Structure 1
Amino acid sequence: MAQPRLVSLAFFVAILISGAHSATFSFKNNCSFTIWPASLANSDKGALSQTGFQLDSGASFSLDAPPAWGGRLWARQTCSTDSAGKFSCITGDCGTGQVACNGAGGAPPTTLIEFTLQGYGGKDFYDVSCVDGFNLPVLVVPSGGPNCNSTSCPVNVNALCPKELRITAPDGGVQMKMLLSYILSQP
């Protein structure tokens, strides 16, 4: 079996296939500020072991996904805890009042990265979606698997979004960039 090549990127996900086709999502924050990645499993799939976590600038974190997992990943930004201990974020907030999203999705606007592992024909599927609006550019870059193409929303598309699905920085620019690399190794 060929070994996957790992690349250090802003938002990095590695899919390592073994006999049970387990996956590891490895996140790296190359932003100049803290982000709070989050996940939501599809209704017929189990949640990841952590559904939200803090990722400081330059930090990395890995999270195992069960075989045949499906769901979405996104990043929250400009998060804080108030004096009563309630956690909230300006973008992508899941409304639980905690860092963990515990089965709740991110409030629009948020750029989504969606995965289906071992989907139709045993293949893995992924996409970048702005169906819930846009809060940051993202890129999915597969490596190590046959016929895998990148997909992205690499630029600020807020001007094209309906007003209720836009997020802009005070200077009118995007506050965060996130990059996702999907690494696949074939048996």
Structure 2
Amino acid sequence: MNEQSKILHLTCSLSPLSFFSMGELLPLLSLLLCLSFLQGAQAATFTISNQCGYTVWPGILSNAGIAPPSTTGFALSPGQSLAVSVAAAWSGRIWGRTLCSSDYSGRFACATGDCGSGAVECSGRGAAPPATLAEFTLAGGGGGDDFYDVSLVDGYNLPMLVTPSSQAANGSCQATGCVLDLNKSCPAELQVVAAAAARAVAACKSACEAFGMAQYCCSGAYGAPSTCAPTAYSRFFKSACPRAYSYAYDDATSTFTCAAAGGGYDVVFCPSTSSLKSGGNPEAVGLPPTYSTMAFTGNAESLMTSRNSLGILLMVVSSAISTLSW
């Protein structure tokens, strides 16, 4: 650190009251410089990578009152990565958009995860469901824990893996995500079929979006953890992706912490085994291996009563889950 930086750091470390005790008011410009210095010194970085065989357009939304990063939407061709810096105490979500294009008027739109801005940049707009979401609340370098998760509460459109850039000795900072292609096994009543994908399944809705019923949305009489229990549909998502949120109150197995992440997180779309940091073994980080043959058919009633369907689902559950409790 040079002498100028040392002086600025010392000045910024003084409490506002100390300036008044001097009988002087620190100019507004100096305050802004201090804030800029401290924020820049503690910035976190998200490295967002696309390992899909097609282009993905990531979107980034900051929570209310949180400054946005320099970009809120961009394109990643297969194999590309982009490092995005955010404030140390940033909170918000990251997701991927697929099957995107511009119409004759130049308006940009996507078949899944569209943020409705009409442009590649999302500019403060969130993802239209269904979309796989990575959610973050960073501690800001104050000695606390970061909180992060991958959520399927708003449905699913892409496999996603989130891994802290550094590991902690206390066992926190674990990888999480949903590495399976659930579009191939999505129940018929939840499927989103896209003309742009030759009528193929492009995303899988949540039961809340598909049916709008309180028991699926955890609303009304079901608006508390004690009354909103897992459903057949949320269990479908949880079976395939045991570390991802499957419904609103799925906190116990789906929220992760990282003590001082040390720079940020890697967010990977369509992760391969080589993208995992535990010897290339998905199960080593608590995630199920990727199977291309997973299949599911039927409705909620058949899912709850058919042991044949359960046998198929169990093929993709992590080895730590040996049975499903109905």
What is the TM-score with the length of structure 2 in the denominator?
Answer: 0.45
- Shift in Å at residue 21 of structure 1? 2.9
In the aligned structure 2, how far is the partner of 1:19 from the partner of 1:83?
Answer: 41
> Does residue 149 of structure 1 match 2:174?
yes
Between Structure 1 and Structure 2, the one with more helix by share is 2
Structure index of larger Rg: 2
121-130 or 63-72: which moved more? 121-130
TM-score (norm 1): 0.75
Task: List aligned pairs for 1:1-187, cutoff 5 A.
Answer: 20-118=41-139, 122-146=144-168, 147=171, 148-157=173-182, 163=189, 166-167=191-192, 170-172=199-201, 177-179=269-271
1:23, 1:66 within 8 Å by CA — same for their partners in 2? yes
Aligned residues: 164
Displacement, 1:28? 2.0
How far apart, in 2, do the equivalents of 1:162 and 1:24 lie? 39
Comparing both structures, which one devotes a greater share of its residues to strand? 1
- Greater RCO, CA 8 A, separation 6+: 1
CA positional deviation for 1:83: 0.5
Structure 1 pair 21–101 and aligned structure 2 pair: CA distance change class (3 A): same
Unaligned runs of 5+ in 1: 1-17
SS in 2 for 1:128: strand
Identity of aligned residues (%): 46
1:150, CA displacement in angstroms?
1.7
CA contact (8 A) 1:134 1:167 kept: no
Contact 1:143–1:182 (Cα < 8 Å) also in 2: no
**Structure 2 unaligned runs (5+)?**
1-38, 204-268, 278-326
Shift of the 128–162 alpha-carbon distance from structure 1 to 2, 3 Å rule, reads: farther
| Cα gap change, 1:42 to 1:173, in 2 (>3 Å) | closer
CA contact (8 A) 2:192 2:202 kept: no
